[in-house]
Homo-oligomer: A and B are copies of this chain.
């Protein structure tokens, strides 16, 4: 088992199957030493674990969990591309789109659900850049959408 998956197991998490697309595209592409994923949602099997808007129908704690789960799906996409997560040299970038209601300001706390997971399982290699913007209407009513960019061997 890879070091990264071992860290996941310590957290009581198992890597899910990489979720498929919801349109005519693919879920991850490698170009040179870079891998980029499509937008990742909080899929749990074939349904979204959360739907709705932060600050309206969802709490920051639920948003944190949704971000964590979306990041876990993103890591599954990376594994599907590189085969072994120990071949990930660096998480380069996390794009964070947060579905939210009026006057919501806690995007960083929500996205920490993804960042904390990446930092925990990849260690130094998990230190990533981040964007955090609010989205007024999201596909499938998903509370977050994330994109991972990684440098791989």
Given A38-B131, A131-B145: A139 and B108 within 8 A (CB)?
yes
Cross-chain contact of A105 among B21, B131, B141 (Cβ < 8 A):
B141
A97 / chain B contacts, CB cutoff of 8 Å: 131, 133
A2 within 8 A of B: no
A116-153 with Cβ < 8 A to chain B: 116, 119, 127-141, 145, 147, 149, 151
Is chain A's binding surface mostly helix, strand, loop or mixed? Answer: mixed
Q: CA–CA, A107 to B107, complex, Å?
A: 22
Sort A-B residue pairs by CB-CB distance and give the 3 closest, nearest first. A134-B137, A23-B108, A25-B130
Enumerate chain A interface residues (CB-CB to B < 8 A). 21-29, 31-34, 36-39, 55, 90, 92-95, 97, 100-109, 111-112, 115-116, 119, 127-141, 145, 147, 149, 151
